[in-house]
Structure 1
């Protein structure tokens, strides 16, 4: 093994950090992901910059906080001009390709304003979050009376492929890959959208389901990849809902494998207003029911087991072709899943099951031998991957753009000067029920500051939340109004203020360029604050004295 030439950036959607056997799950065995951790570093305190798909991914891809890139929720465009890992890596001589999901919403208005041709190479990359696309599949192709959720990128190619392979219907993504069949009528769908059907087998051959399909597409890309170094973002849709798995994964686990729920009655009586609004929503109420958890969680575990088996297939291919020895592998998720913890379902807020993610990195280089099989409890953010990738590609640091920090020192056994806290954000302005708590859309914002012990949430116009992760690791006791913790709350507010004042928008000049600018020659152009020409050397004022010079051609 030697210095990594390529990067395989694997992201699962909605995979909880603790639903891996290497992270301590007692029933769910993930031997292939565990084996990756045994050859790399597993980061135990990795946090996303927003616990919702789109905003989180835009931070992964830009290396910038949500506060900086502005794509605050799923359908908020990433504005034209925000550079992504693809742009940075190409500058360093590395291609950057996509297989799977980005949840990128293009800035159509900005592209039209600037006259960017979508059919051009530049236009395609701007529209596709900086990636060259092998196959984009955002996975979601549900349909309602008013149309498809995502007509353009929601499993469109996959749907055509399903039809070519015998799954004939108007929407085989739903009708076969994400639906079972009713017991009393095997011709009638048992939709994965109805949680009672979670334990049924999806009406599709396992090899044709979404996760194996996406693995095949990644292998197809790598088979044709030439000598140019590449970064491949392999982005799976699962174990994201609909919670339904193909056989045999649908019944590998049962209610006896469902862990005890992490929730407390005091959360219901002492809930923060935003927390309460999410708990009282349809998803929160559903996942507060034991019957829902006992149906959904075994299916969720089955989907993860299938993901792990596909990692075994993928890693075996890499070994067989020699790419295992020159490819840096990163495995992570865009956020977690409450699964009923804290009376919640889905994600959205800042409890550990939602905002904390798995992160495993395997560097094949000899320098990483000292950390193989280790864990790192440094406070890591999603934005750290972009500068990590840039360092692997051999590019110069870009701290004026990339707000994260390279993780390579940790991989090589070093202990760099590191951050004291992590930041995450959430924009709830598009949630019809929760947004009623805010006076206007611009104030519907939440911020999290978390360090190794304390987790703090600031809500505009409302009281804060505070949890003691050391003495209350399950985050049951909200200390946001505790007089005994005023100093901690003040410290967290100060950290939030310091973070908010950071220089984040001067992205067109590096510090080195600014320092060079200070040394700009005083002999160029403007001379200000001079009362008399005799106050300066004569050569500096030669064009400001005497008669006008003769005409000179431009």
Structure 2
């Protein structure tokens, strides 16, 4: 009898392992929601990403909680708001890594790999515990010299590593691979060629005139308070977007960088199909933050407007292919919990995010109506802020400047008006201030002090 029970137990474990999907995670740098074909951009060519959206789930209201590369990537890894993980550069607190989603995937029996940009450091022993393969690939320069003397773009190098990893896997054990692109981040040190693109996209957009940003009217920039006008938003705008010639050149190359990522994604999908993994693989595509790209007279990200916080998010499940769009608020801190859920693992209690899987599968669950947005750095020309992004209202406090914003997305979806001093919004302002304190204070001490 005991041998029968043992056999049943082993069979159950084998079935459980077979049911776990492979997971492939694409994380892009500096790409906002509307810079894909499937999200409405009038020119960009992203056919492979669009196909994932057509057969998967496109989240129409996906956001990051802190709009800057290093913090957002730490938040994805830990499942936590910045206020909780406390990462401001250097090494992430090891106790936050203990409950990270890669640790959970390893416990679930996954072979794991990480290729590309980090923008953070982790304890070396923890890194080995999280990943079977770990290869960091940075920019500066984007094009790397190969052993044969040729140059290859970091986007293609990262895809090569991922494909090599996939080709070594078998159907007996699930795998996870994370592709962390430096593109479409600018090469800040090169003022003439900000957006070096891979050869795969060199032929695109050559004879096209790039459309101006929707919010390009200079009056929009001039309506901003002085601390916004004199910030890095304006410095980098002058690097990239402030003349028609610069704008056309740089936007054309920015789109080429994005299309190069689409081409790399297509190569990875082909590898999955060739190994017969595609129909048992979950693919996640998102970005670490949005990007102003000239809107409002701004460059960069960092601050509280939609162009900075809102990102693309697509989740494709090869086992249940269906095209759908969801309007619920999804966050970067949900991604770890979501991938763990697909692996059959619970969300660690330390995480601030929640699994998106129930929403994708049509379950009726209570869901957030708002989230905490925050930014803190020691950079003198980037303003620090904290606020609440509600389904209708956006409240942002810049305590060091003694300044508040209140936007009504229903009446003013482009956030061109600040209702903070409008008497009609007095009670809404009080409520949003209260919600900020109720949401932020339990997570940890504030980074920002009042003026």
Q: TM-score, normalised by structure 1?
A: 0.70
Q: Matched residues in 2 for 1:361 and 1:59: separation? A: 19
Aligned match of 1:211 in 146, 155, 158? 155
Task: Point out 4+ residue stretches in structure 1 off by more than 6 angstroms.
Answer: none
Deviation at 1:358, TM superposition (A): 0.4
Q: Matched residues in 2 for 1:79 and 1:221: separation? A: 28
Deviation at 1:99, TM superposition (A): 1.2
Q: Matched residues in 2 for 1:260 and 1:504: separation? A: 38
Residue of structure 2 in register with 1:540 after alignment: none
Does structure 2 conserve the Cα–Cα contact (< 8 Å) formed by 1:251 and 1:299? no
The reply on whether 1:454 has 2:393 as its aligned counterpart is yes
Q: Matched residues in 1 for 2:435 and 2:79: separation? A: 20
The reply on whether 1:407 has 2:367 as its aligned counterpart is no
SS at structure 1 position matched to 2:355: coil
The reply on whether 1:416 has 2:365 as its aligned counterpart is yes
The reply on whether 1:293 has 2:243 as its aligned counterpart is no
Residue of structure 2 in register with 1:18 after alignment: 34
Residue of structure 2 in register with 1:497 after alignment: 437
Q: Matched residues in 1 for 2:427 and 2:81: separation? A: 26
Inter-CA distance 397–166: structure 2 relative to 1 (3 Å threshold): closer
The reply on whether 1:395 has 2:345 as its aligned counterpart is yes
Q: Matched residues in 2 for 1:131 and 1:277: separation? A: 42
Deviation at 1:4, TM superposition (A): 4.4
SS at structure 2 position matched to 1:97: strand
Aligned match of 1:33 in 43, 46, 49? 49
Aligned pair count reads: 415
Residue of structure 1 in register with 2:175 after alignment: 230
Deviation at 1:266, TM superposition (A): 4.1
SS at structure 2 position matched to 1:402: coil
Q: Matched residues in 1 for 2:344 and 2:78: separation? A: 18
Q: Matched residues in 1 for 2:87 and 2:31: separation? A: 22
The reply on whether 1:105 has 2:55 as its aligned counterpart is no
Q: Matched residues in 2 for 1:504 and 1:446: separation? A: 15
The reply on whether 1:256 has 2:209 as its aligned counterpart is yes
Deviation at 1:260, TM superposition (A): 3.6
Deviation at 1:261, TM superposition (A): 4.1
Deviation at 1:30, TM superposition (A): 1.4
Q: Matched residues in 1 for 2:46 and 2:257: separation? A: 11
Residue of structure 1 in register with 2:380 after alignment: 432
Please list, as runs of the form range in 1=range in 2, the aligned pairs for 1:128-277 lying within 5 A after superposition.
130-137=130-137, 139-141=138-140, 159=144, 162-167=145-150, 204=151, 208-226=152-170, 227-242=172-187, 243-247=195-199, 249-250=201-202, 252-253=204-205, 256-277=209-230
Does structure 2 conserve the Cα–Cα contact (< 8 Å) formed by 1:401 and 1:504? no
Q: Matched residues in 2 for 1:123 and 1:407: separation? A: 26
Q: Matched residues in 2 for 1:76 and 1:495: separation? A: 31
Does structure 1 conserve the Cα–Cα contact (< 8 Å) formed by 2:56 and 2:314? yes
Deviation at 1:133, TM superposition (A): 3.5
Q: Which runs of 5+ in 2 are unaligned?
A: 1-17, 188-194, 446-451
Inter-CA distance 238–486: structure 2 relative to 1 (3 Å threshold): same
Aligned match of 1:329 in 267, 275, 283? 283
The reply on whether 1:470 has 2:423 as its aligned counterpart is no
Residue of structure 2 in register with 1:541 after alignment: none
Q: Matched residues in 2 for 1:91 and 1:312: separation? A: 30
SS at structure 1 position matched to 2:253: helix
Residue of structure 1 in register with 2:21 after alignment: 5
Deviation at 1:375, TM superposition (A): 0.6
Deviation at 1:247, TM superposition (A): 4.4
Residue of structure 2 in register with 1:354 after alignment: 308
Does structure 2 conserve the Cα–Cα contact (< 8 Å) formed by 1:42 and 1:376? yes
Does structure 1 conserve the Cα–Cα contact (< 8 Å) formed by 2:167 and 2:271? no
Does structure 2 conserve the Cα–Cα contact (< 8 Å) formed by 1:95 and 1:230? yes
Q: Matched residues in 1 for 2:242 and 2:414: separation? A: 16
Residue of structure 1 in register with 2:192 after alignment: none
Inter-CA distance 40–4: structure 2 relative to 1 (3 Å threshold): farther
